[in-house]
Amino acid sequence: ITVTFIDVNGQTRVIEDAEPGMSMMQVAKAHDVEGILADCGGACSCATCHVYVGDGWMEKVGPPDDVEEALLDMVDDVRQPNSRLSCQISVSSDLDGIELTVAPDPGY
Ligand code: FES
């Protein structure tokens, strides 16, 4: 599965071997995508894996659940309508070709 990350420095990283079942956060960490810190290790409790879902992909990715929603609220300054936590998005063939932009650190 191919996933493109735009890292926090604006650099494009195309990852072609993302394994289905991994989270997008794990893919980013495995390839050292700058700006994905994932402090909580994917437990949906830190919001340092925040990404903006690329144009046209939000429908396939779907909305955040309640727990994720609450976390995204905590980074409201940098939240966008297409914000998701990358640890809560699973790699699947449906998402082949997706683009995810790493959200800036809100600084708190
Ligand atoms: Fe902590 Fe995603 S890694 S919320």
Cβ distance 2 to 18 under 8 Å?
Answer: yes
Cβ distance 3 to 86 under 8 Å?
Answer: no
> Rounded to an integer, what distance in angstroms lies between the CA atom of residue 30 and that of residue 71?
23
pLDDT tens-digit map of 88-98: 999 999 999 99
* pTM of this structure: 0.96
- Residue 108 in tokens: 């708190």
- Report CA(5)–ligand 1 centroid distance (Å): 16
How sure is the predictor about 107, in pLDDT bands with cuts at 50, 70 and 90?
Answer: confident
pLDDT tens-digit map of 2-55: 999 999 999 999 999 999 999 999 999 999 999 999 999 999 999 999 999 999
- Return the ligand 1 atom nearest residue 49 CA: 2
How sure is the predictor about 108, in pLDDT bands with cuts at 50, 70 and 90?
Answer: confident
End-to-end CA distance of the chain: 33
- Report CA(18)–ligand 1 centroid distance (Å): 18
Alpha helices in the chain (DSSP H): 24-30, 58-61, 66-74
Ligand 1 in reach of 27 Cβ (< 6 A) = no
Counting ligand 1 atoms within 8 A of each CB, the residue from 27, 36, 37, 40 with the most, and so the one to mutate, is 40
Mapped onto helix, strand or coil, the DSSP state of residue 84 is strand
| Total Cβ atoms within 10 A of residue 69 | 12
All domains in the chain, ordered by first residue:
8-55+82-108 (3.10.20.30)
